[in-house]
Structure 1
Amino acid sequence: MISSDDLRFFALLASHTSLAATARALHVTPPSVTQRLQLLEEKLQIKLLHRQGKHTSLTDEGQLLSERAILILAEMEDLHQTLSQQKHSLVGRLKILAPFGFGNQYVAPLAAQFQAQHRNLSVELELSDNPKHQPSQAWDLIIHIGELHDSTMIKSVLAKNQRFLCAAPSYLEKFGQPKTLQELRQHHCLALRENAEDVTLWRLRLNGKQKDETLRISPQLASNDGRVVKQWALDGYGIMLRSEWDVAAEINTGQLVKILPRYKLPNADIVALLGSKEAQRSARTMQFLDELKRSLNPAPWQN
């Protein structure tokens, strides 16, 4: 019979793409992970994992075990939490995935405050701008900005968020401000590579029109770090497409100037993604979500 420790081990293993990554997460050696996996497979008399070079993938049986393990562990933690309610405290572990910039500025401080209010609770916050590479089952809550690829999860809108094209006054003084999309093609453009989006295809819609126009840029500078791209723009290296939450302050102070203000870009609302099954949504998750919504209403960048 498998134990809860076996379930925790396999749930963690299933959330990584290699045995080496699992070993790093457990702070052990890869051979010890391999040995533990073999013991679990022998105990169950089934193969749980395919190995393809350095990478791994779940067998059908492994996928089933992973899904059931997550549900069982969630139920166990909820039971623990229910038994501890007489102490009026949240317990267990809250795992949050958020984008780098937004997570650092708005989620991280709240996560620390939330844990300080609930001393029996541990909070794990991971920042990543490539959420598609992270299995959604590994997280209690995912904060996402932009185009949504996984429609199986429950979406809760945290704040409205526009996107703008903008550049520093120093850049515009040197190269001029484009008045049309055709003129924009001749400018230095900056690209932020995040969320596995096609970041070199900009979609804009002229006010009053019903159809988007598209512009394929050839960025002179590109990065996967929004802070880097923003600093490039502030330093006058080019025009960037960026979210309101990140540039509203600089636009208000004149450090950045909106480009083609008669055009509107697709919104990139800030949302929280939750597991589609109620058993995956614990009290600690829902309470943190409530706190997050309160902290973003009204949106701090719109004040």
Structure 2
Amino acid sequence: MISTEDLHFFITLTSAVSLADAARKLDVTPPAVTQRLRLLENRLGMRLIDRSGRRMVLTDEGELLAVHARRICDDIGNLSDTLASRRGTVAGHLRVIAPLGFGQRYVAPAIAQFRSLYPEVSASLMLSDRPARFSDDMWDLMVHIGELRDSSLVSRRLAPNRRILCAAPRYLARRGAPQHPDELRMHDCIALRENDEDVTMWRFTPKHQGAPASVRIEPVLTSNDGGTVRDWALAGLGIIARSEWDVAEHLHAGRLVALLDAWTQPDADIVALISSRHGRSLRATRFLELLHASTLQQPWLPRVGSEQAQHDQRVQDLCADESTVRTTAA
């Protein structure tokens, strides 16, 4: 016999590039994955995965099991969602993927808030420097920042987000400020590697008249973590092009200085992508509403006291509305 737990295990296995990768996704050791796969194959009396090379290759039987496993798990999940919706209950497991820094600062608190509103929901948050590499059968909602390459995904804009070229005063005192994008070739630039983008090609558009400019930088430092890149800039090590949400407070405090004010870079709007398979559940819909309310007002922008109080009140009002809905449904 085969259980739904076995099916979920095999689905995770087939989405991994290796047994070690599957072990990371399952949060177990590689030997534990190997042993569980062997037990499953022995129980079924057939080989499911060819492990002779470096990569895992599904056998014909493994392909058949993978197709039916996804279908069965989808059907079970959809049935659970339908029954919960008829009871007016927000329940089930919410799976969210988000970029590292933004996910830690804004998505994780939203999930904690959501969990307090809906105790019957469990949730998992995957933080990644390349969230787009996960197939949509692995998440209900994905937060994405920057260029969206797959236009077939359903998306909702959460908040506008500018890219800002900036550096620390100590760097500018030592090297001076560029007056044209072409001068960046003579400066120390720091690049963030994320979303498989061409991160060394920096593009600029003049705010008034003139031709666009594209500059191929040769970064002196690179990282896949935005916080590290920002901290290097704060230490005076070079120029960065970063999202407004990450540097706004430092610009306001004077720890970073915006450069090339006559030019703009492509915006990197913050959007929520909705899974075509799982993203239409009631829990995903309600979480999207909460996340949208908490980010639409761009909480990273400096505010005077009254503006901050108004922003906090909007989020609290939404939570109160959701709590009322939950209590009434119960």
Scaled by the length of structure 2, the TM-score of the pair is 0.81
Q: By how many angstroms is 1:55 displaced?
A: 2.5
In 1, distance between residues paired with 2:39 and 2:27? 12
Match in the other structure for 2:28: 27
Identity %: 44
Q: What is the CA distance between 1:51 and its match in structure 2?
A: 4.0
Deviation at 1:217, TM superposition (A): 0.7
State the SS of the aligned residue for 1:13: helix
* Unaligned ranges ≥5, structure 1: none
1:58-78 residue CA offsets vs partner (Å, 9 max, x unmatched) = 568756754553453243234
Cα separation, 1, equivalents of 2:91 and 2:130 = 29
- The answer to whether structure 1 residue 258 and structure 2 residue 261 are counterparts is no
Whether the aligned pair in 1 keeps the contact of 2:81 and 2:281 (CA below 8 Å) is no
Equivalent residue, structure 2, for 1:38: 41
Cα shift readout 1:151-196 (whole Å, capped 9, x = no counterpart): 3321111111110110011111111111012322111101111111
Aligned mates of 2:126, 2:222 — CA distance in 1: 23
Using the TM superposition, give the Cα deviation of residue 117 of structure 1 relative to its aligned residue in structure 2, in angstroms.
1.8
1:258 alignment partner AA: A
Distance 1:71 1:115, change over 3 A: farther
* Structure 2 match to 1:222: 222
For residues 169 and 112 of structure 2, the distance between their equivalents in structure 1, rounded to whole angstroms, comes to 37
Where 1:144 maps in the other structure, the secondary structure is strand
- AA aligned to 2:215 is L
Structure 2 distance, partners of 1:69, 1:272, is 27
- AA matched with 1:158: L
> How many angstroms does 1:253 deviate by?
1.8
Q: Aligned partners of 1:176 and 1:170: how far apart in 2?
A: 10
2:154 and 2:224 map into 1 onto residues whose CA distance is: 27
Rate the CA distance shift 1:27–1:205 in 2: closer, same or farther, 3 A: same
The one-character-per-residue Cα deviations of 1:90-125 (angstroms, maximum 9, x if unpaired) are: 222111110000000000011111112222211100
Matched, 1:288 2:287: yes
Asked whether the 8 Å contact 1:130–1:194 carries over to 2, the reply is yes
Partner Cα separation in structure 2 for residue 146 and residue 58 of structure 1 = 34
C-alpha contact (below 8 Å) 1:74/1:280 kept by paired residues: no
Q: Could you tell me which residue of structure 2 aligns to residue 168 of structure 1?
A: 168
Confirm or deny: 8 A CA contact 1:179 1:260 kept in the other structure: yes
- Distance (Å, rounded) in 1 between the aligned partners of 2:125 and 2:84: 24
Q: Which amino acid aligns with 1:202?
A: W
1:108 — aligned with what? Answer: 108
Root mean square deviation of aligned Cα: 2.5
Aligned to 2:314: none
Distance 1:65 1:193 in 2: 37
Q: Cα–Cα, structure 1 residues 231 and 54, in superposed 2: closer, same or farther, change >3 Å?
A: same
Q: Which runs of 5+ in 2 are unaligned?
A: 304-330
Q: What is residue 240 of structure 1 aligned with on the other side?
A: 240
Q: CA separation in 2, counterparts of 1:189 and 1:298?
A: 31
Tell me the distance in 2 between the aligned counterparts of 1:111 and 1:6. 28
Going from structure 1 to structure 2, the CA distance change for 1:71 and 1:162 (only over 3 Å counts) comes to farther
2:158 is aligned with 1:178: no
Q: CA deviation at 1:280?
A: 4.7
Distance 1:11 1:298, change over 3 A: same
Distance in 1, Cα, partners of 2:71 & 2:279: 7
Aligned to 2:16: 16
Alignment of 1:1-303 (within 5 A): 2-24=2-24, 25=26, 27=28, 29-39=32-42, 42=45, 48-51=48-51, 53-58=53-58, 65-66=65-66, 69-84=69-84, 88-209=88-209, 212-277=212-277, 280-302=279-301, 303=303
From the superposition, tell whether residues 37 and 85 of structure 1 become closer, same or farther in structure 2 (CA, over 3 Å). same
SS in 2 for 1:138: coil
Give, in whole Å, the separation in 2 of the partners of 1:19 and 1:243: 36
**Structure 1 runs of 4+ off > 6 angstroms?**
none
Kindly provide the amino acid, as one letter, of the partner of residue 79 in structure 1: L
Compared CA separation, residues 235 and 144, structure 1 to 2 (3 A): same
Match for 1:89: what amino acid?
T
The 8 Å contact of residues 71 and 280 in structure 1, kept in 2 or not, is answered as no
Aligned counterparts of 1:40 and 1:256: Cα–Cα separation in 2? 61
> What's the TM-score, normalizing by structure 1?
0.88
